[in-house]
Amino acid sequence: MTEDEIFEGEWQKMLDGQVYAAGMPQFLDKLIETREKVRDYNDLRPSDRRGMDAALRALLGSCGDNVIVNQPFRCDFGENIRIGDNVVVNFNCTVLDEARVTIGNRVLIGPNVSIYTACHPIDAAERSTFDEWAEPVTIGDDVWIGGSATILPGVTIGERSIVGAGSVVTKDVPSDVAVAGNPAKIIKKLK
Task: Sort strands 131-134 and 118-119 into parallel, antiparallel or unpaired.
Answer: antiparallel
If one counts every other C-beta atom within 10 angstroms of the C-beta of residue 68, the result is: 13
Q: Which amino acid is at 63?
A: C
pLDDT digits (tens, 9 = 90+) for 176-185: 999 999 999 9
Backbone angles phi, psi at 190, to 5 degrees: -95, -10
Q: Are 97 and 116 in contact (CB under 8 A)?
A: no
Which domains are seen in the chain, by residue range? 3-189 (2.160.10.10)
Active site residue 120: yes
Q: Are 145 and 164 in contact (CB under 8 A)?
A: no
Query: Distance between CA 111 and CA 187 in Å, rounded?
Result: 22
Four-residue CA torsion sign, 46, 111, 61, 87: negative
State the catalytic residue, choosing from 39, 49, 57, 120: 120
The residue-averaged pLDDT of 96-118 equals 98
Whether the upstream peptide bond of residue 174 has omega within 30° of 0, thus cis, is: no
Mean pLDDT of the chain: 97
Q: Helix (H) and strand (E) counts for the chain?
A: 4, 20
Q: Looking at residue 191, what is its pLDDT?
A: 83
Residue 165 has pLDDT above 90, yes or no: yes
